[in-house]
Amino acid sequence: MKLPSPIRLTQTVQKGGCAAKVAALELRKILAQVRFPPSPQELMIDMGTFDDAAIYRINTDRALVQTLDFFTPIVDSPRQFGCIASANALSDVYAMGGKPATAMVILAFPLATLDNSVAVEILQGASDTIAEAGAALVGGHTIDDDTLKFGLSVTGFVHPDYVWSNAGAKAGDVLILTKPLGTGTLTAALKLGAVTESQIQDGMDSMCLLNDVSGRLPPELVPAIHAATDITGFGLAGHALNLARASGVSLRIESSSLPRFEKTMEFLSKGFLTKAHRTNGEYVKDYIRFEYEDSVLPQLVFDPQTSGGLLLAVSADRADQILSLLSRPFAFAQKIGVVVSASPEALLFS
């Protein structure tokens, strides 16, 4: 018997969005036990630094960007879910400085409990978002499953000389974050019925916003971005730690400068949390220092983002110019700190 429509998709799953990721510590333990084959010479970036996508050099002028991302529903509206999941997957290509070219759908759909119209709406939301990115939806794969899951495999391209990674940050760089923090706590409140989607519209809009940073900049400014990563399920702290470790630096972040959604701090204070808040904290606990006592701040930087912003390490002499150009498409983009020489604490929150 099929459930009536409309249905709250968030009530069909235990956890949603990027909060459903395998915890970073567990993932590292799993990967450490797998014997991977040697990487070919053409593979410029592999999984070694927990970067956002793989980069495979085709020739001197062209490299392929490859990624895959999928998750369970983070919002109730099927079309919005398709939009958010697609923007989240496309973001991995943008985080490498690339441009998406093709996308393929990954859809696990519970035919016994959900009407086909739900799948239609999800796919329409995805199709619209992929088209906005200037990419082509070229197919995919579906299975009948007990739990709804949706995402994309995305292929893009980038010039080999202008690849961004999480390993290029330099002491003296300025840190820029393109989107507010708090999608984890907002959607936790949504799942609990404490708010409706319309009451967290700022978060909904942000999750659908494409992270096309390189496309918003003139070519001469692209090399001024030394490192980039997108902030998703491991939270700002987890992804910033990966960047710091890959680059051999530390990051000093000014807590008061962190952009956040209107209800983020209220909902964190009320305890609208996910399991990922805890596991993200465990992942970074040996590498992080807060320079003042604040019970909510740690939860803010541990908050698992879905389709969050890009964290950019930018040459100090170009940071203001780049931020100015990004401020129109990314209204909440902020300078949040600086890159400093490596120290035992990779992350310093002042």
Query: Residue 1: its pLDDT value, please?
Result: 38
| Span 84-112, average pLDDT | 96
Residue among 9, 13, 18, 114 flagged as catalytic: 18
* 18 included as an active-site residue: yes
- Render pLDDT for 221-260 as a digit per residue (tens, 0 to 9): 999 999 999 999 999 999 999 999 999 999 999 999 999 9
Question: Of 199, 195, 217, 243, which Cα lies nearest the Cα of 333?
Answer: 217
Whole-angstrom distance, CA of residue 156 vs CA of residue 215: 13
3-state SS, 104-118, equals EEEEEECCCCCCHHH
Round to the nearest angstrom and report the end-to-end CA distance of the chain.
Answer: 55
- Render pLDDT for 157-179 as a digit per residue (tens, 0 to 9): 999 999 999 999 999 999 999 99
19 pLDDT band (50/70/90 cuts)? low
pLDDT exceeds cutoff 90 at 47: no
Domains of the chain: 9-162 (3.30.1330.10), 174-349 (3.90.650.10)
Instruction: Return the minimum-mean-pLDDT range out of 22-26, 29-33, 142-146, 285-289.
Output: 22-26
Whole-angstrom distance, CA of residue 14 vs CA of residue 254: 34
pLDDT exceeds cutoff 70 at 36: yes
Query: Residue 4: its pLDDT value, please?
Result: 46
pLDDT exceeds cutoff 60 at 320: yes
pTM over 0.85: yes
Query: Residue 15: its pLDDT value, please?
Result: 67
Question: Read out DSSP for 120-175?
Answer: HHHHHHHHHHHHHTT-EEEEEEEEE-SS-EEEEEEEEEE-GGG---TT---TTPEE
Query: Residue 186: its pLDDT value, please?
Result: 96
The chain-wide mean pLDDT, for the chain, equals 93
User: Residues with Cβ < 8 Å from 226, sequence gap 6 or more?
Assistant: 168, 169, 170, 173, 313, 314, 315
